[in-house]
Amino acid sequence: MAERRDDRSYSFDPVYRHLLRARDLSQNADVPRDLKAEINRAIELCQQRWQYCEDQTTKPSPALAHLIKETFAYPWEDAHKEGRVSYYATPRMLTGNLEAQLIKLITNASKANMVLEIGLYTGCSSLAMAEALPKDGKVVSLEIDKGIADVARSFLNRSPVGNKIEIMIGPALNSLEILAEKQVKFDVIFIDADKTGYVQYYKTIFEKDLLASEGTIIVDNVLKDGDPYSGEEYEPNSGAISEFNEMVLRDKNVHKVMIPVRDGVYLIRRMKD
């Protein structure tokens, strides 16, 4: 169990989870040595595949590397106990370098100028996207917890592009309303906040016309530890993700592809008006 609570991609994969269980079950049972070796090799391959993808990916900028390192080193439990943040904000929420580089690449390829993030945490994906923007580009990032936003700001200030990131504190739906009133449009939107909010965020984005024509929405955690396809209920809120995925599938106005990166990423492109 301890192994799946880390940040590594394979820990989100139910195959890995079941392999660990098979290994545990085989320990004291009368299982042939060859079979035990095969189980161990399969576990090792899951880890090697993840490591290989990490190694073959562009390394983070110094500021992004610092942010990732410091997010793990931060005393989140103490911060929660002392009331500086409203809940135990585990570093497992961090997107990490591989996914951040994917999002950065898409931002860059989209020639985006205006980017919206729903769910800032310590700013990993915000910073990666800001690094892909032109001089006058901007990231608006929504975060409900003021304490978490303060931690993010302290990390973002170390980057030469940190000033491109505007943080809006408050429930994301309220912030979306404010942005809609200002008639702002975004070229790329990354959804990565509370999973039960995904359906409403998606609907609001289109109802309030927040996404530019041919703009892209990137959505995190759409495989939610495997629950949407395994039929298992490993994670709370996975039902909300299944509902979200079904809604996107039915939406004929977007081009979409789901990719099994980390906990699953949905790439959704609004078609030309």
Ligand X SMILES: C[S@@+](CC[C@H](N)C(=O)[O-])C[C@H]1O[C@@H](n2cnc3c(N)ncnc32)[C@H](O)[C@@H]1O
- Judged by the rule CB under 6 A, the positions of this chain that interact with ligand X are 93-95, 119-121, 124-125, 142-145, 148, 171-172, 192-194, 197
- Closer Cβ to ligand X, 43 or 193, answer by number: 193
Distance (Å, whole) CA 115 – CA 138: 6
Closest CA to 219 of 193, 240, 200, 196: 193
- Closer Cβ to ligand X, 19 or 127, answer by number: 127
DSSP at 57: S
- Closer Cβ to ligand X, 148 or 211, answer by number: 148
| Nearest distance from C-beta of residue 93 to ligand X, angstroms | 4
Q: In 3-state terms, what secondary structure has residue 158?
A: coil
- Closer Cβ to ligand X, 97 or 245, answer by number: 97
| Nearest distance from C-beta of residue 199 to ligand X, angstroms | 13
| Nearest distance from C-beta of residue 193 to ligand X, angstroms | 4
Amino acid at 207: E
Distance (Å, whole) CA 161 – CA 158: 9
| Nearest distance from C-beta of residue 42 to ligand X, angstroms | 29
| Nearest distance from C-beta of residue 21 to ligand X, angstroms | 26
Q: Residue 177 in contact with residue 88, Cβ under 8 Å?
A: no
**Element housing 268 (H / E):** strand 265-270
- Closer Cβ to ligand X, 212 or 218, answer by number: 218
Q: Residue 54 in contact with residue 100, Cβ under 8 Å?
A: no
Distance (Å, whole) CA 143 – CA 136: 23
Q: What are phi and psi of 134, to 5 degrees?
A: -70, 175
- Closer Cβ to ligand X, 95 or 245, answer by number: 95
Q: How do strand 254-259 and strand 114-118 relate by DSSP bridges? A: unpaired
Distance (Å, whole) CA 224 – CA 229: 9
Closest CA to 136 of 106, 156, 171, 112: 112
- Closer Cβ to ligand X, 125 or 245, answer by number: 125
Range 72-87 burial, b when 16+ CB lie within 10 A, else e = eebebeebeeeebbee
| Nearest distance from C-beta of residue 272 to ligand X, angstroms | 28
Q: Residue 191 in contact with residue 215, Cβ under 8 Å?
A: no
| Nearest distance from C-beta of residue 267 to ligand X, angstroms | 16
